[in-house]
Amino acid sequence: MASDSKAAGNAVTREIESRIKQIPEHLFEVFLEIREPIDNEIPAILLKYPENFPDEHLKTVTNFAYPCKMPSDEQSEHFAFVILDSTGTLFRFGYCRRSNRESTCLCIISFYPWFEVFYKILNDLSQVIVSKSTADVEQLLSSLYNYKLFSIEEFYKNEGKEEIEINILSKNFNYTRPDPRKLPSMLSSRNFSVMVSRLGPELMLCLFSHLLFERRILFVSSKLFHLTACAYGCLNLIHPMHWQSIFLPILPASMTWTTQCSTPYIIGLHSSLFSTLKMDELGDVVIVKIDERKIESQYDDLSLFPKYLIRSMKKGIQQSSQLAGDHLARVFLRAMAFTVGNYANGFDIKNDKLDFDRERYLEPYLGSHVHTFMSAVANTQMFEQFSRYRTHAQLEREVDIDEFDLEVRNLQKLQQSKKFKTNKKIYKLLEKAASPLFEQVQNKTERIQTVINKAGQRVASEASSVRNNLTSFDINDVIKRTHNSKIHQSITTNNVRDKKSVYQSSTPDLQNENSIPYERIHSKDNLFLSEPHLINQDQISSSSASSSRSSTPELDRHKSNTLINLDTDDENLLLPSPIVLNVINTPVPPPRSTSNSSNRLKN
């Protein structure tokens, strides 16, 4: 065989690592109808197909079909055993259907691990056999034996779907080919569902730890079907690795000595045979009593697991009771991805060839709390074959992506997400630590902004005052003031000299007449004065000066304009006549410098 030559060359292919033949020639190897033995006689074969199948292995098959004496009240049940092929490497599965009413056992030997398919085929064959038509039985067996299945490539191209259809005897027999890439669920896998119902998630977690360390595990039950379900079902817990040691889901009475082997094993033993064993000869075996739902072990393997891994698995197991589908199987797959998902760390180049170095793989764990755990896993036969196959797959560029690879990628994304969240938490801590400084800077900034706003408001107010003065500028009033000041300058000067200087408040009470800082001039000479005269000479001079500066800022510019002569004594006919108003004016406030305001407005 090609696989044998590769094995000789230390190359571990998928077939060798999984111990499952990848391309069998037929759907099954042989079909047998075996009669139940009476007393201690050898079980007799009533029907065999094909007839040319070698008889050298048939005696072994009959022993597995009737591993022990069964009670007469047992109902029909399905179970399966395993025998090795001619190379002693690959599994051949023996699917059995027993019925006390028929006193026979129907058995099919096949390389395919398709439990549901072959259990259904056995049921259909049983119905045909009951009809007492040997020709019909042979016709159905011939159609199944020669049925051409899709190749693996064709099966995957068809999205993992194939219906096996047999149309004979005016009947249609349909069987659905299972997809090996899918994880088992409570509905799709009878073995997995029975194991979960009989053991429960907590015992499964303990069993998983013993499997991962390759302990000697002995299943005990009064039901052959329960032995089959638990022995095969537990293999799903360690996917993608495969059990490499002794695997006997059903152990016949003639082989009970196997339980004393020192090598790791998974063995299923009927309760009637277990009672005949000497317990002191078994040694440190892990006994799983299915009917009693308990595990007896000298090992506390679960304590060697990383605590966070156990917490995560327990949480997932608790949720699996509420979730359908493959959730429970995925809990264990995620644990395997977490444990051996970084197998690529052990890849090394030796003699210009890719190889796997166990020491290189374990180097990152030296001195850590998980080193003992990882070292125990890495030194198992399962991991040895797993790592060698993955190395071979890299060399041959086998890029088939299964559920394990997808779960590893999901874990990598999750770790990256956790790093991002960790960085985000660190940023928040730094932000929290720096927030007092930010608040101080913000408070100072607000104070400075308040000062700037107030200054801006003052500037805007002064600018508004300037604009109002500019808009209220009356050139006629300016001309009249200039004209009157020249005519009555001498009169005003003489009157002021005769008066006593009186200083008044800058904010007089307009309701009190005595507080008004001016008097009316009723002389004939000043009847044409339109403006009241302040009594204080200083106020007059300062007021007139400030008024000319603040109320007429454009005056100097207009004086420089030759088109308008504001200094003439003659009445300018181009301007409207001035209007004389009789009003009471309050003292003019102190003059403000407009140069700064003008500069700010320009800026």
What pLDDT score does 422 carry? 58
**Residue 300 reports pLDDT greater than 50:** yes
Would you say 572 and 479 are in contact if contact means Cβ atoms under 8 Å apart?
yes
Q: At what angle do helices 371-378 and 327-340 cross, to 10 degrees?
A: 100
Q: What is the pLDDT of residues 40-82, one digit of tens each?
A: 788 899 999 999 998 887 888 999 999 988 776 666 689 999 9
β-partners of residue 30 are 109
Q: Which helix (H) or strand (E) holds 32?
A: strand 30-35
Other beta carbons within 10 Å of 299: 14
At 261 the three-state DSSP class reads: coil
Could you tell me which residue, 494 or 305, shows the higher pLDDT?
305
| DSSP codes joined into one string, 327-361 | HHHHHHHHHHHHHHTTGGGGEEEETTEEEE-HHHH
Q: What is the pLDDT of residues 143-172, one digit of tens each?
A: 999 999 999 889 999 999 999 999 987 789
DSSP state of 515: G
Q: pLDDT grade, residue 141 (50/70/90)? A: very high
Compute CA distances 584 → 516, 532, 587, whole Å: 9, 7, 10
Burial class (CB in 10 A: 0-12, 13-18, 19+), 257: exposed
Average confidence (pLDDT) over 379-408: 87
What pLDDT score does 467 carry? 57
What pLDDT score does 459 carry? 57
Residue 432's identity, in one-letter code, is K
Give the pair of three-digit tokens for residue 600. 């700010």
Would you say 7 and 16 are in contact if contact means Cβ atoms under 8 Å apart?
yes
**Parallel, antiparallel, or unpaired for β 265-270 and 353-356?**
unpaired
Average pLDDT over the chain, rounded to an integer: 76
Q: What is the pLDDT of residues 538-597, one digit of tens each?
A: 443 344 444 334 334 444 444 444 333 333 343 333 333 333 334 444 444 454 444 444
β-partners of residue 248 are 267
Q: At what angle do helices 403-471 and 327-340 cross, to 10 degrees?
A: 90
- Of the chain, the end-to-end C-alpha distance in Å amounts to 96
Residue with tokens 């065989």: 1
**Residue 407 reports pLDDT greater than 50:** yes
Average confidence (pLDDT) over 280-300: 94
**Residue 386 reports pLDDT greater than 80:** yes
Average confidence (pLDDT) over 507-536: 38
Average confidence (pLDDT) over 136-146: 93
Give the pair of three-digit tokens for residue 28. 């099954």
Give the pair of three-digit tokens for residue 12. 């571990």
| DSSP codes joined into one string, 51-111 | TTS-STTHHHHHHHHS-SPPPTT---EEEEEEEE-TTSSSEEEEEEEEETTTTEEEEEEES
Could you tell me which residue, 413 or 204, shows the higher pLDDT?
204
Q: How many residues does the chain have?
A: 603
Neighbouring residues of 148: CB distance < 8 A, sequence distance ≥ 6? none
What pLDDT score does 525 carry? 42
**Residue 95 reports pLDDT greater than 60:** yes
What pLDDT score does 340 carry? 93
What pLDDT score does 497 carry? 44
Q: pLDDT grade, residue 133 (50/70/90)? A: confident
Q: pLDDT grade, residue 267 (50/70/90)? A: very high
Q: What is the pTM of this model?
A: 0.69
What pLDDT score does 502 carry? 37
Give the pair of three-digit tokens for residue 536. 């204080």
**Residue 490 reports pLDDT greater than 90:** no
What pLDDT score does 577 carry? 36
What pLDDT score does 103 carry? 84
What pLDDT score does 372 carry? 93
Could you tell me which residue, 476 or 274, shows the higher pLDDT?
274
Neighbouring residues of 475: CB distance < 8 A, sequence distance ≥ 6? 558, 564, 575
Range name among 91-95, 201-205, 321-325, 548-552 with the lowest pLDDT average: 548-552
Tell me the CB-side half-sphere exposure of residue 29, using CA atoms within 13 A.
24
**Residue 339 reports pLDDT greater than 90:** yes
Instruction: For residues 147 and 201, give the distance between their C-alpha atoms in angstroms, rounded to a whole number.
Output: 40
Average confidence (pLDDT) over 367-386: 94
Would you say 306 and 299 are in contact if contact means Cβ atoms under 8 Å apart?
no
**Residue 363 reports pLDDT greater than 50:** yes
Helix %, strand %, coil % of the chain (to 5): 50, 15, 35
What pLDDT score does 443 carry? 62
Instruction: For residues 274 and 297, give the distance between their C-alpha atoms in angstroms, rounded to a whole number.
Output: 16
Other beta carbons within 10 Å of 543: 17
* pLDDT > 90: percent of the chain: 45
Could you tell me which residue, 111 or 602, shows the higher pLDDT?
111
Q: Which helix (H) or strand (E) holds 217?
A: strand 217-221
Q: What are phi and psi of 254, to 5 degrees?
A: -75, -5
What pLDDT score does 487 carry? 53
Residue with tokens 């300037």: 466
What pLDDT score does 526 carry? 42
What pLDDT score does 509 carry? 36
What pLDDT score does 485 carry? 56
What pLDDT score does 483 carry? 56
Instruction: For residues 390 and 380, give the distance between their C-alpha atoms in angstroms, rounded to a whole number.
Output: 16
Average confidence (pLDDT) over 505-529: 37
What pLDDT score does 436 carry? 56
Q: What is the pLDDT of residues 21-30, one digit of tens each?
A: 989 999 999 9
Instruction: For residues 88 and 82, give the distance between their C-alpha atoms in angstroms, rounded to a whole number.
Output: 12
